[in-house]
Structure formats: structure tokens, C-alpha cells
Amino acid sequence: MSTPTPNGRFSRVFSESDEIRILVFLIRTTKSISPPPIGTPTINRIIERLNHRFTPSQINDKLRRLRDKYRKHVKNRHLVKTHHDRRVFKLSRRIWGEKKSPKNKTEKGAETVESGKGEGEGILEKYPYLVAEFSRALPDNEVWKERLKGLDEMKLRKMDQEWVHLKVDEAKLVAKKAVLVKQHIMEIIGE
């Protein structure tokens, strides 16, 4: 929500940290209730938590906008671009996302979904080096997982093997460096 400034531009009413605080507070106060009841008592507690800087209608509107933004991001994950958007998405998922029921080991298909692994997620477990490198390179971005799931297994296997070969080459280089360091130390101390 924005308000016009004297120069005609709009300024944000809620800062990014306000949005995070609202979502965290909502998670804490409605842990076991899904979907959370967002009524007057909850709104008033949020207002108190934010030092009475906002009106109930502003809080209500912000919650509606955050919920709508979450739903839009669920449909199009590529819209989650900034670090703040990722945090808002993760917190919003805890509030408005589908709750997972306890595992039922009698149905294998249901077990995969309930364990948090969607379709294609288990396939990535076969390529640990590839997944580890992307997790290190893009720690807060989950888009690469979705894209990898869309690749065929031959391509994934080839990519994983390239990382394995690189790791082996790195290990050889480290060993070579250790030998060179030892050799130079021996020359320096005169033995």
C-alpha cells in the first residue's frame, strides 16, 4: 500500500521489515490453526506489535495483498526474484500453504508427496554432486531445482559426472600442491 507524497510520487506505508514482522507474528499466533483466522483480535495484536503505526484497515489490506502475492508466486515461482520476496514467500507458505498430513506408509505415492518431495524431486537425489554445487552457488534460489527436474536423466547424469570429474581433478591438484609445499619447506629449512 502506498500514500502520495507532496511531489505526487507514492511512498510505501509498510517497510520490508514490517512485512516480515507481520508474517512472523501471524505464524506465531496461529500456529495450529489453518487457515489462520484474521479477525479483529489478531489485527489489534499486530497493530500493538508494530507500535500502533498502522490502522486496522491498513493491516487488513496488507495481509490481503501478501496473501494474493503468495498465491501469484505459487503459480509462477519465477516471480520470486529478490531475497525479500523469497523470505515473504517462505513465511507466507507456512501461513497459507497446504498443510502436510502425517505420513501414511501404505500408499507409496502419497508418501512421496507428504514427505515434501513433489513430482521429479526424488530424481535429483540421484545426482548429489550436481545438486550440491547448485545449492552452494544459488542457496536462496529454488528455481534451478524446477529447471533441473525438467531435464532428461541422460543430461542430468552427464552434468553430475562432470562435477565428479572436476572434484577428482581438484583433489589431485590439492595433493600436488601439498607435495610442492612440502618440497619447498624442505628446501627452506635445508634438509
Pairing of strands 10-12, 2-4: antiparallel
pLDDT at 167: 87
The C-alpha cell that represents 86 in the structure block? 523469497
Q: Are 152 and 89 contained in the same domain? A: no
Q: Is residue 153 part of a domain?
A: yes
pLDDT band at 179 (very low <50, low <70, confident <90, very high): very high
Mean pLDDT of the chain: 77
Q: Is residue 1 part of a domain?
A: no
What is the value of pTM for the model shown? 0.46
Tens digit of pLDDT for each residue in 156-172? 889 889 988 998 998 99
Find the range with the poorest average confidence among 18-27, 78-87, 117-126, 143-152.
117-126
- The CB density around residue 38, as the number of other CB atoms within 10 Å, is 17
- Structural domain containing residue 60: 11-98
Count of domains observed in the chain: 2
Q: Is residue 85 part of a domain?
A: yes
Q: Are 94 and 126 contained in the same domain? A: no
CA 96 to CA 88: how far, in whole Å?
12
